[in-house]
């Protein structure tokens, strides 16, 4: 399966959190926005500043995030993605999630290939389904 991996999926994997993507082993090819690197590393930094991660653990988690990102196709935040993210979506969606969804839709349209959106964000999952994408990572069985 080819899956667009949003930051919530990458972070749960990198942090070893419960509720990680059950279908992780079935993802043959991962796709993500370049935005995911910023989101993931900023989240790790926030956790460090709040005392939830020590220096050694921060270093290990950063390395894990960077390794995960090296293994996926990173899509730049291009002007057409920004324009699509600014357009209306069928359901409410915040800015970062709109950028993720716009990236996934642009990738699918450019490749003409089936793409599943992997997210632990219910709002993003709902919007992706409304746009015709299959979604994994939300709901029962995560």
pLDDT for 139? 64
pTM (whole model) above 0.85: yes
Q: In whole angstroms, what is the distance from residue 49 CA to residue 54 CA? A: 9
Express each pLDDT in 65-99 by its tens digit.
Answer: 999 999 999 999 999 999 999 999 999 999 999 99
Q: Which residues of the chain have pLDDT under 70?
A: 139-142
Sign of CA dihedral 16, 103, 74, 40: negative
6: its two tokens: 């949003």
pLDDT for 98? 97
Angle CA 19–103–10, to nearest 5: 25
What domains can you pick out in the chain, each with its CATH number?
A: 2-136 (3.40.50.1010)
């Amino acid at each position: 399966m080819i899956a667009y991996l949003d930051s919530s999926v990458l972070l749960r994997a990198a942090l070893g959190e419960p509720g990680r993507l059950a279908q992780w082993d079935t993802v043959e090819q991962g796709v993500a926005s370049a935005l995911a690197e910023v989101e993931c590393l900023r989240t790790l930094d926030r956790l460090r500043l709040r005392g939830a991660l020590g220096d050694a653990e921060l270093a290990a988690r950063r390395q894990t995030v960077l390794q995960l990102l090296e293994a996926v196709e990173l899509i730049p935040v291009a002007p057409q993605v920004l324009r699509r993210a600014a357009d209306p979506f069928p359901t409410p969606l915040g800015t970062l999630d709109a950028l993720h969804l716009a990236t996934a839709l642009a990738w699918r349209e450019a490749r003409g290939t089936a793409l599943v959106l992997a997210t632990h964000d219910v709002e993003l999952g709902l919007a992706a389904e409304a746009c015709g994408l299959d979604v994994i990572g939300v709901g029962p069985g995560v």
